């Protein structure tokens, strides 16, 4: 290859990467594990969509670089004495990207839209604490009956069923973001297309080419635009993690929210502190089918749990990108005391002995072994985890078989409460509150795959929900976990998730946090 051709190549590459140009724009190429399913904030559910929507929209509250709640579209708010009525004062002078003011009516319209059954919003339950929300979603009441009100153009009032201390935290979720009423009415379902979409966040949507990129450009009308340092964000879907690492190495990506964990040691050696690891608010767990013998016996569930060597799983299977867990609610929620199973501190050998004793007591022997089938959804690491557990239970005489199905089949089976012994599941917090996890063990919850039902647990959860005092509420939730998880193992916690991201040294202001959320408006690039 001669030099001319080579320099032409370089020139073209630079053009393609958008690093040249008269304005010397600051472009942030941000790897994002998958494309958004939708850019309609009310129809989204995944973490990948949240990364994009957090830049495009601004909820009543929002998050700073450390994912702590700060005022967003609402400048301030007051809460009534009984904790049930929130009155939000919208930011004076804040506008949509088309220049029209953000009004309380926009919020009324948006929230009614979220709970309207015709919208079929996956995350309609984010508004469940609001009066009548659940009845509207179920089609029993009209959207207009939702407990929200525009007192005047800049005052938005919400009435809740019960004091909900995590309500402000919930408002950082994309399902509660406002959409522009005039915009939605003008374009209908097409309002989310580039060119049509009007948003109120730090960025506006410029392009969405599926499987290629979502391009967002700085919104000059954003109230804090003066402090937004990155001009263009390209969200690049990085399905193939190895390619994403190579693109990062070549400078085509500035960050990616996932890394090939099996190469962790090499990556750390190569990229040093650009590889970021830390706890993430989520739990990787198994569920027993608790309404079926022999799994209806908590003693047996504990014996299996005790015998599982979580340190091995975290270290060998997950290369320390996960953390051994003995509680459902991960640490990191202010004011909450996690309740672990009592063998959390015991040595693995003692635990195995204890487990063996229980199994013998329950009448299992080499002649009459306990048989257990683990169901898991397709993924190399889910498989390795299940195989490791199979090996760990072998010395106890438990005959473990494995059943792998694709993700849709797996969760289809779990949601229909099909027959099974043990199955894998995972939960990533939607907002920073223990209730978000523990609700999965309440009687009749859709995600209660274990079909666990316990009056004492449900009672404690109800008491917590009715409690107006945040500290007392946390105590109740903690007690609920002690009953439902530590005593009864409504879920079998295995590992806490960890985030594993790669962030270029050129990118400044990226603060590691348990929610792994990083709004672009707080970042800058050299």
**What is the binding site for other proteins (CB under 8 A)?**
1, 6, 9-10, 12-13, 15-17, 35-40, 43, 45, 117-122, 124-125, 134, 137-139, 192-193, 208-213, 236-240, 242-243, 246-247, 249-250, 252, 377, 405-415, 425-428, 446-447, 449
3-state secondary structure 253-293: CCEECCCCHHHHHHHHHHHHHHEEEEEEEEEEEEEECCCCC
SS3 content of the chain, % helix, strand, coil (to 5): 40, 20, 40
CA–CA separation, 78 vs 435, rounded Å? 23
Could you tell me how far CA 8 lies from the centroid of its own chain? Answer: 44
CA–CA separation, 500 vs 277, rounded Å? 5
Nearer residue to other proteins within complex by CB, 223 or 284: 284
Q: Please list, in sequence order, all residues whose beta carbon lies within 8 angstroms of the beta carbon of residue 169, skipping any fewer than 6 positions away.
A: 61, 69, 431, 432, 433
CB 487 within 8 A of CB 253: no
Least CB distance from residue 47 to other proteins, whole Å? 10
The Cα diameter of the chain in Å comes to 80
CA–CA separation, 141 vs 267, rounded Å? 54
Peptide bond into 294 cis (omega under 30): yes
Nearer residue to other proteins within complex by CB, 411 or 510: 411
Least CB distance from residue 300 to other proteins, whole Å? 25
Least CB distance from residue 250 to other proteins, whole Å? 5
Nearer residue to other proteins within complex by CB, 115 or 523: 115
Nearer residue to other proteins within complex by CB, 209 or 471: 209
Least CB distance from residue 283 to other proteins, whole Å? 13
Least CB distance from residue 44 to other proteins, whole Å? 10
Nearer residue to other proteins within complex by CB, 359 or 502: 502
CB 439 within 8 A of CB 461: yes
* Angle, vertex CA 389, rays to CA 385 and CA 390, nearest 5: 115
Least CB distance from residue 274 to other proteins, whole Å? 16
How far is residue 182 from each of residues 93, 189, 400, measured CA to CA in Å?
A: 18, 13, 58
Nearer residue to other proteins within complex by CB, 122 or 231: 122
Least CB distance from residue 193 to other proteins, whole Å? 7
Nearer residue to other proteins within complex by CB, 33 or 155: 33
How far is residue 447 from each of residues 78, 83, 149, 485, measured CA to CA in Å?
A: 34, 28, 32, 15
Least CB distance from residue 446 to other proteins, whole Å? 5
Nearer residue to other proteins within complex by CB, 32 or 513: 32
Pairing outcome for strands 27-32 and 232-237: parallel
Work out the burial of residue 348: count CB atoms within 10 Å of its CB; fewer than 13 is exposed, 13-18 middle, 19 or more buried.
Answer: middle
Please give the radius of gyration of the chain, using alpha carbons only, rounded to the nearest integer.
25
Nearer residue to other proteins within complex by CB, 223 or 427: 427
Nearer residue to other proteins within complex by CB, 125 or 343: 125
Scored b (16 or more CB within 10 A) or e, 299-313 reads ebbbbbbbbbbbebb
Nearer residue to other proteins within complex by CB, 102 or 253: 253
Least CB distance from residue 323 to other proteins, whole Å? 19
Least CB distance from residue 155 to other proteins, whole Å? 30
CA–CA separation, 491 vs 301, rounded Å? 10
Sign of CA dihedral 228, 252, 15, 197: negative
DSSP state of 101: B
Least CB distance from residue 191 to other proteins, whole Å? 10
Least CB distance from residue 372 to other proteins, whole Å? 22
Nearer residue to other proteins within complex by CB, 82 or 240: 240
* Angle, vertex CA 373, rays to CA 413 and CA 279, nearest 5: 75
């Amino acid at each position: 290859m001669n030099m001319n051709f080579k320099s032409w190549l370089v020139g073209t590459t630079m053009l393609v990467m958008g690093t040249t140009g008269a304005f010397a724009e600051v472009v942030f190429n941000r790897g994002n594990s998958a494309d958004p399913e939708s850019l309609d904030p009310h129809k989204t559910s995944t973490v990948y969509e949240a990364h994009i929507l957090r830049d495009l929209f601004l909820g009543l509250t929002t998050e700073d670089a450390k994912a702590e709640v700060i005022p967003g579209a609402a400048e301030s708010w007051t809460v009534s004495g009984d904790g049930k009525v929130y009155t939000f004062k919208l930011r004076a002078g804040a506008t949509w990207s088309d220049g029209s003011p953000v009004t309380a009516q926009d919020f009324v319209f948006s929230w009614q839209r979220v709970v309207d059954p015709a919208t079929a919003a996956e995350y309609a339950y984010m508004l469940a604490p609001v009066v009548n929300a659940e009845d509207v979603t179920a089609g029993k009441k009209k959207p207009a009956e939702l407990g929200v009100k525009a007192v005047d153009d800049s005052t938005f009032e919400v009435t809740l069923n019960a004091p909900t201390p995590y309500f402000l935290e919930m408002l950082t979720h994309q399902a509660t973001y406002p959409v522009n009423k005039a915009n939605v009415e003008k374009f209908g379902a097409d309002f989310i297309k580039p060119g049509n979409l009007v948003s109120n966040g730090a960025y506006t949507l410029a392009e969405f080419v599926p499987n290629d990129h979502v391009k967002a450009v700085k919104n000059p009308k954003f109230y804090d635009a003066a402090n937004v340092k990155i001009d263009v964000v390209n969200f690049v879907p990085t399905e193939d993690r190895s390619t994403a690492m190579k693109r990062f190495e070549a400078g085509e990506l500035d960050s990616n929210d996932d890394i090939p964990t099996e190469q962790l040691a090499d990556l750390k050696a190569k990229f040093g502190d650009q590889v970021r690891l830390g706890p993430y608010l989520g739990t990787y767990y198994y569920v027993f089918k608790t309404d079926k013998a022999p799994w209806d016996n908590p003693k047996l569930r504990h014996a299996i749990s005790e015998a599982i060597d979580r340190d091995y799983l975290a270290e060998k299977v997950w290369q320390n990108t996960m953390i051994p867990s003995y509680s459902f609610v991960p640490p990191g929620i202010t004011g909450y005391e996690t309740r672990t199973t009592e063998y959390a501190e015991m040595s693995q050998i003692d635990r195995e002995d204890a487990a063996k004793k229980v199994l013998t007591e329950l009448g299992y022997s080499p002649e009459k072994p306990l048989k257990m089938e683990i169901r898991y959804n397709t993924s190399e690491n889910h498989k390795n985890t299940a195989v490791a557990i199979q090996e760990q239970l072998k010395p106890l005489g438990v005959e473990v078989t494995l059943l792998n199905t694709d993700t849709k089949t797996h969760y289809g089976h779990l949601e229909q409460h099909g027959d099974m012994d043990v199955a894998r599941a995972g939960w990533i917090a939607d907002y920073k509150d223990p209730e978000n996890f523990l609700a999965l063990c309440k009687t009749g919850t859709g995600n209660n795959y274990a079909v666990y039902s316990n009056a004492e647990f449900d009672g404690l959860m109800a008491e917590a929900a009715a409690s107006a005092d945040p500290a007392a509420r946390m105590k109740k939730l903690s007690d609920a976990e002690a009953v439902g998880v530590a005593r009864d193992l409504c879920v079998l916690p295995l590992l806490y998730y960890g985030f594993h991201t790669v962030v270029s040294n050129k990118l400044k202001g990226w603060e590691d946090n348990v929610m792994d959320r990083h709004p672009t408006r707080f970042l800058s690039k050299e």
